[in-house]
Amino acid sequence: MSDDAYQATHPGEISFDDFAKVEVRVGRILTAAPLDGARKPAYTLSIDFGPALGVKQSSAQITVHYRPDELVGRLVLAVVNFPPRRIAGFKSEVLTLGVPDAEGNVVLITPTADVPIGGRLF
């Protein structure tokens, strides 16, 4: 990708203060189920972020690499301070984070060790 193409499709630099406003926390998936009515296949997730934040809901398009039963108990990272969004009638309260594989399918971002839920990314 050329520098011009990259600049046209990506935001410019942000300050550390801008980054610090994004609250990314680790949570543990408690439940996962198909999201009926979604335009693209997705799951509903309930994720425990610990006593300070509690359990939050998320919609995630992660059906290619994950089955609902193998998601339960998994640690994930999520943005917890975006406003909620309605997706196919479902209130998604957090943005579960992932990166695309070679085909553009989502692979979850997850800690490589067992860490306390609610911990903030820094």
**Is 63 contained in some domain?**
yes
* pLDDT digit string (tens) for the chain, length 122 residues: 666 777 677 778 889 999 999 999 999 999 999 999 989 999 999 999 999 999 999 999 999 999 999 999 999 999 999 999 999 999 999 999 999 999 999 999 999 999 999 999 98
* 74 Cβ contact list (under 8 Å, min separation 6): 28, 29, 108, 110
**Is 113 contained in some domain?**
no
Number of domains in the chain: 1
Task: Quote the CA–CA distance of 111 and 58 in Å, as a whole number.
Answer: 18
Per-residue b or e along 73-100, where b marks 16 or more CB atoms closer than 10 Å to that residue's CB: ebbbbbebeeeeeebeebebbbbbbbee
Domain enclosing residue 68, as ranges: 23-108
**Is 117 contained in some domain?**
no
3-state DSSP call for residue 4? Answer: helix
For CA atoms 91, 94, 98, 104, the dihedral sign is positive
- Global pTM exceeds 0.85: yes
**Is 93 contained in some domain?**
yes
